[in-house]
Structure 1
Amino acid sequence: MRKQRSEEGFTLIESLLVLTIFMLLSITAIVNVKPVQEHFIITQFFEQFEKDILFAQQHAITEHTRFYFVYSHNAKSYSIRKSGTVVNKIISRNFDSSITISNLTLPNTFSFDSQGNISDSGSLLVEYLTHKYLVKFYLGKGRFHVEKL
């Protein structure tokens, strides 16, 4: 009589094949995460930027006073302050070091009056890695929009 062998478990080649497939899938997922992260950084920046601009405009209307929006190229930050004093900073935000804001026709400091109108119309250039965005501010109710170049 012949004995039957029990073949339980996997061979070394089967295990290595499964491990290789798993590693290839993992590497593909990791490589695809970087563009998603880069997109998230600039999207989050513009969402916060828009909310802060609207916040300054809303406070200028409700408190019937002028609010200033000040941004710094070198410090990678911007702030919102009340009545032009440094002491009355309402918001101070730092942003990612790979984002740069350059003034094209808008000064580094602009304000919203008690009616919510912006003091100057103009444009800012926002650069992030290889992407460029134009932020245009219009006279009148302080409206603005972002355009990818």
Structure 2
Amino acid sequence: MIELMMVLLLMTVIISICGSFMYKSLQFKEERVFKQQLSQDLLDAQLTALTSGEYVTLYFYPHTSHYYISKGSGSKEKYIAKRELPDSIEILDTTTLPSFKFLPSGSTNTFGALRFLVNGDPYTVHYYLGKGRFYIAEGS
């Protein structure tokens, strides 16, 4: 009986250690997937504007944690993509760029920063006027 209790204790310790590693691994994966998805969406939006010759607009909604990508303008605007962000990712209200457009030339109509919290860590996407250049920086 004592041997059985020792085996159960050992298994409990191993499972608890593995559980904490799995949680951290899932957080890291979620962070990596978010950054890759956002980068890919920005590049796809720019490419869509270049190839279609139409405006492509990105809308970021901090309170509902999602963003939209739409093509065209006015009554002919149609949504290309909608991304819901996981609970661990938050768009901050200090974002200076809640929406912006890619012009048919691939440039942007404005510049600024998108600020996110990913698992409690700040990330900023800096966007520059002209040619649609951006980069993602860890920290604020």
**2:68 aligned with 1:79, yes or no?**
yes
Match of 1:28 among 17, 22, 38: 17
Distance 1:85 1:94 in 2: 24
For the pair shown, which has the larger CA radius of gyration, 1 or 2? 1
Match of 2:46 among 32, 57, 63: 57
Residues 71-117 of structure 1: per-residue CA shift (max 9 Å, x gap): 11112110111123475001111111332223656331101011111
TM-score relative to the length of structure 2: 0.88
Task: Tell me which residue corresponds to 2:96.
Answer: 106
Match of 1:46 among 26, 30, 35: 35
* Bigger shift: residues 61-70 or 102-111: 102-111
**2:117 aligned with 1:94, yes or no?**
no
CA RMSD of aligned residues (A): 1.8
Task: Tell me which residue corresponds to 1:6.
Answer: none
Residues 6-61 of structure 1: per-residue CA shift (max 9 Å, x gap): xxxxxx33333222212211111012222222222222111111111111100000
What is the aligned residue count?
A: 138
Distance 2:134 2:40 in 1: 12
* Contact 1:79–1:93, Cα closer than 8 Å, also in 2: yes
Instruction: Return the structure number with greater relative CO, CA threshold 8 A, min gap 6.
Output: 2
TM-score relative to the length of structure 1: 0.83
- C-alpha change, 1:127 and 1:101, in structure 2 (3 Å) is same
